[in-house]
């Protein structure tokens, strides 16, 4: 702090952040002083809590308390400066104490007053009072005066120590008069004003271009935000629909479970009721038999001849009372075989109905992304016959003499679509009715068209096969054999480029056949069609790109 005593009084009371007199000065642990608002705002916008001057870092933000001593000193200095300014001459009294960004007089020794002009010869800035000699003395009148600027030495040629008053358009730099006869002798040199006007016009154009770039990026930000909003809306809608579907499925499962439990319980109740009835009837017969047994026992012990004979007659021993033959009466064990299976089958039927409804909704959703696809004759294998409208393709069984252009596929009986897709979602439908062999899907634009095609994602193809009339396959890694309930007559192909999804649908059955997921697309995708080889009348039907309804 000893060095501070050699600084001008006003410098000792300037905040190093705002470069103005302290307002509510505070002292931080390293000993440096700042305006309370300045250091607070600095720490609020900085990643670390440290001193702006010595860079000492603090683990926790220090408590800030106003340094009353420095605050009082600043107040005294401000009052003193105001008094000095008010006691100066009437002309100078109209000038103000300099503020940050303003140029002040280099000659003033006490209160620095605002400079009115800067001299390029003296390399000094002057207030109104100290400028007077340059306005009255003949020798000084020849000096070049300009509006006050800082760092006057930067306006002098470092080589010739002369004012930089010319602009070299060849080297795009400011030069002095002596430079034009030395380093810039044959260059296109113009006065500063002309160079300024030319550069200002260029800056205006550049500013307009920058503003246009800013506006485009702002529009892109709005587009991205809108995309995020739409994505969130889609996600919320998907979640709501998913919750609705799974809630219905859950309720359906619970209902079938309750029905299953109820069926078992009713069977068990019926067996219990039957057993209870049998037991009650048996107990009644036992009670009657016990009474009869007691009478027999009583008579058998009597010595009274008449009494015994009369009693036997009343018991009718020769013809005992009829009773039920229980030897063939039984309660068979409950049979629950197949109960669970039947319940699961019923549940499966219910789920299949719900699944069909869901797939119908899903198919309608992807059909919204339908695109118009046509076949590209420049890519067609020479045996193929394409319709004039580019919507049908079949094997002609004869190789035509066609130019072997770079786009043409030379080793496989297939053709690509004219349209390509490198973003977004798209969907198209193809009729495969009457065919026993075909392949549909999408292919990368960079596939090797002059070699035998490797129909797999590794080879750049995402397709669905039919071979031998009933063998459906998805050439994933490894090959996936598909079991379909019915043979599709029309196949829908849906691609979500960003999602990396390729799905195939049985349009008439509204059923999902297969999906490639987690694909990584980095180039254009083309619709791919393989009608298969014709064998007589077998597989002679064409593949037909159908309008989406």
pLDDT tens per residue, range 165-211: 899 999 989 998 889 888 898 999 999 888 888 888 888 899 999 99
Backbone phi and psi for residue 394, each to the nearest 5 degrees, phi listed first: -150, 165
pLDDT band at 87, cuts 50/70/90? low
- CB neighbours of 64 closer than 8 A, spacing ≥ 6? 26, 28, 36, 39, 40
Out of 131-135, 153-157, 211-215, 522-526, pick the least confident.
153-157
What mean pLDDT is predicted for residues 478-490? Answer: 92
Task: Decide if 458 contacts 443 (C-beta within 8 A).
Answer: no
Q: Which pLDDT tens digit goes with each residue over 13-28? A: 788 887 778 888 999 9
In the prediction, which pLDDT does 317 show? 60
HEC-encoded secondary structure of 320-355? CCCCCCHHHCCCCCCCCCCHHHHHHHHHHHHHHHHH
Highest mean predicted confidence (pLDDT) among 48-52, 192-196, 234-238, 525-529: 525-529
Task: Decide if 194 contacts 200 (C-beta within 8 A).
Answer: no
Question: How many other β-carbons are positioned within 10 Å of the β-carbon of residue 133?
Answer: 12
- CB neighbours of 303 closer than 8 A, spacing ≥ 6? none
Q: Which pLDDT tens digit goes with each residue over 444-470? A: 999 989 888 888 999 999 999 999 888
**282: helix, strand or coil:** helix
Q: Which pLDDT tens digit goes with each residue over 323-333? A: 677 877 777 76
- For 66: left if phi > 0, alpha if psi spans -120 to 50, otherwise beta; the answer is beta
pLDDT band at 3, cuts 50/70/90? very low
In the prediction, which pLDDT does 465 show? 94
For residue 72, is the peptide bond before it cis, meaning its omega torsion is within 30 degrees of 0? Answer: no
Question: How many other β-carbons are positioned within 10 Å of the β-carbon of residue 523?
Answer: 10
How close are the terminal C-alpha atoms of the chain, in Å? 87
pTM of the model: 0.51
Question: How many other β-carbons are positioned within 10 Å of the β-carbon of residue 429?
Answer: 22
What mean pLDDT is predicted for residues 433-444? Answer: 95
Out of 101-105, 201-205, 523-527, pick the least confident.
101-105
Tell me the CA distances in angstroms from 109 to 113, 446, 455, one per residue in order. 10, 79, 89
In the prediction, which pLDDT does 132 show? 86
- CB neighbours of 346 closer than 8 A, spacing ≥ 6? 256
> Which of the pair, 50 or 355, is modelled with greater confidence?
50
Task: Decide if 475 contacts 456 (C-beta within 8 A).
Answer: yes
In the prediction, which pLDDT does 413 show? 92
């Amino acid at each position: 702090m000893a060095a501070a005593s050699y600084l001008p009084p006003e410098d000792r009371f300037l905040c190093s952040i705002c470069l103005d007199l302290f307002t509510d000065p505070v002292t931080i642990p390293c000993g440096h002083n700042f305006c309370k608002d300045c250091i607070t705002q600095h720490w609020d916008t900085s990643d670390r809590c440290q001193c702006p001057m010595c860079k000492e870092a603090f683990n926790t933000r220090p408590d800030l308390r106003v340094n009353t001593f420095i605050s009082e000193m600043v107040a005294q200095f401000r009052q003193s400066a105001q008094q000095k300014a008010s006691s100066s001459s009437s002309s100078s009294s109209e000038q103000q104490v300099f503020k940050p960004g303003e140029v002040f007089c280099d000659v003033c020794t006490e209160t620095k007053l605002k400079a009115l002009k800067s001299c390029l010869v003296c390399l000094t800035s002057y207030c109104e009072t100290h400028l007077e000699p340059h306005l009255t003395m003949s020798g000084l009148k020849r000096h070049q005066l300009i509006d006050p600027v800082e760092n006057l030495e930067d306006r002098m040629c470092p080589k010739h120590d002369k004012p930089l008053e010319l602009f070299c358009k060849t080297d795009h730099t400011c030069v002095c008069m002596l430079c034009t006869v030395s380093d810039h002798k044959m260059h296109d040199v113009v006065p500063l004003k002309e160079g300024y006007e030319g550069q200002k016009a260029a800056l205006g154009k550049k500013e307009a271009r920058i503003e246009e770039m800013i506006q485009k990026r702002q529009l892109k930000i709005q587009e991205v935000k809108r995309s995020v909003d739409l994505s969130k809306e889609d996600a919320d809608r998907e979640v709501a629909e998913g919750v609705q579907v799974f809630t219905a499925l859950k309720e359906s499962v619970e209902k079938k479970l309750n029905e299953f439990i109820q069926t078992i319980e009713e069977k068990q109740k019926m067996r219990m009721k039957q057993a209870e009835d049998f037991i009650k009837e048996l107990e009644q017969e036992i009670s009657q038999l016990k009474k009869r047994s007691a009478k027999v026992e009583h008579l058998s012990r009597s010595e009274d001849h008449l009494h015994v004979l009369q009693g036997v007659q009343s018991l009718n021993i020769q013809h005992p009372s009829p009773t039920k033959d229980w030897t063939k009466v039984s309660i068979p064990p409950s049979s629950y075989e197949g109960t669970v299976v039947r319940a699961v089958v019923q549940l499966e039927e219910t789920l299949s109905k719900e699944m069909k409804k869901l797939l119908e909704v899903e198919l309608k959703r992807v059909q919204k992304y339908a695109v118009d696809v046509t076949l590209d004759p420049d890519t067609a294998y020479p045996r193929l016959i394409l319709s004039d409208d580019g919507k049908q393709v079949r094997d002609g069984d004869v190789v035509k003499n066609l130019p072997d252009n770079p786009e043409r596929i030379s080793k496989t009986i297939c053709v690509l679509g004219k349209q390509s897709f490198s973003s977004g979602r798209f969907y198209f439908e193809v009729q495969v009715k009457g065919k026993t062999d075909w392949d549909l899907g999408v292919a990368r634009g960079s596939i090797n068209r002059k070699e035998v095609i490797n129909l797999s994602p590794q080879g750049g193809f995402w397709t669905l096969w039919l071979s031998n009339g009933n063998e459906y396959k998805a050439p994933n890694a490894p090959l996936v054999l598909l079991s379909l309930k019915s043979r599709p007559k029309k196949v829908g192909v849906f691609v979500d480029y960003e999602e990396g999804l390729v799905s195939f649908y049985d349009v008439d059955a509204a059923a999902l056949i297969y999906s490639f997921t987690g694909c990584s697309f980095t180039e254009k995708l083309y619709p791919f069609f393989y009608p298969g080889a014709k064998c007589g009348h077998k597989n002679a039907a064409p593949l037909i790109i159908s309008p989406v309804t």
